[in-house]
């Protein structure tokens, strides 16, 4: 559980934790970010993860505004009517809020991109998940906050779920 992350740990934050916090207000995620703000833990994420979060927030906003059943339907609507992008604000507001969460944003570098295919094969991970593990390895981080059970296949990390 997110609430059991040891004090002083460095934790990589996956996209779903940000999304649960932004869209659902989950208490465990709020607790995690509170500990990051007070420096009880050191929280990191990557620009790639935030890009995924922003994309999903955009689709969630469109789905809610137009009462659509899924993000795929929202994406199809945006492809037909890109002018709706001009009225979307949720992703922008979230991005402005990120610095107040106490999370350090690290870049995705060529080194991690090169490591990802091998990690994908070794642990049977999709590309973005392999990039997360590559970034964690490059920064010597072994704690991951995520609700993605695929990360259980990675032997040298501790997965913390909400």
- Assess contact for 129 and 52: CB atoms under 8 A: no
Confidence check: pLDDT of 92 > 90: no
Alpha carbon 55 to its chain centroid, in Å, reads 11
Look at the block and give the residue holding tokens 């050191």.
Answer: 42
- The model's pTM is 0.92
Give me the helix-helix angle, 47-65 and 71-80, nearest 10°. Answer: 80
Confidence band, pLDDT 50/70/90 cuts, at residue 1 = confident
Q: What is the pLDDT of residues 55-72, one digit of tens each?
A: 999 999 999 989 988 888
Q: What is the pLDDT of residues 27-41, one digit of tens each?
A: 999 999 999 999 999
Mean pLDDT of the residues in the chain: 94
Q: What is the pLDDT of residues 2-13, one digit of tens each?
A: 889 999 999 999
The predicted structure's pLDDT at residue 136: 97
Per-residue tokens: 118: 């091998």
Report domain extents, the chain.
Answer: 2-160
Q: Which CATH superfamily is domain 2-160 in?
A: 5'-nuclease (3.40.50.1010)
* Consecutive H or E run containing 63: helix 47-65
Residue 133, Cβ density class (10 Å: 0-12 exposed, 13-18 middle, ≥19 buried):
buried
Number of H helices, E strands in the chain: 7, 5
């Amino acid at each position: 559980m997110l609430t059991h992350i040891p004090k002083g740990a460095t934790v990589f934050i996956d996209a779903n934790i940000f999304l649960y916090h932004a869209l659902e207000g989950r208490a465990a995620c709020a607790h995690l970010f509170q500990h990051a703000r007070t420096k009880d833990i050191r929280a990191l994420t990557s620009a790639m993860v935030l890009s995924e979060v922003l994309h999903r927030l955009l689709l969630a906003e469109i789905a809610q505004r137009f009462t659509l059943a899924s993000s795929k339907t929202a994406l199809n609507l945006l492809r037909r009517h890109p002018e709706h992008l001009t009225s979307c604000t949720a992703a922008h507001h979230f991005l402005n809020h990120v610095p107040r969460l106490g999370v350090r944003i690290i870049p995705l570098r060529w080194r991690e991109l090169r490591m990802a295919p091998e990690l994908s094969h070794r642990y049977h991970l999709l590309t973005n998940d392999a990039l997360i593990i590559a970034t964690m390895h490059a920064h010597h981080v072994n704690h991951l906050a995520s609700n993605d059970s695929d990360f259980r296949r990675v032997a040298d990390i501790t997965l913390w779920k909400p």
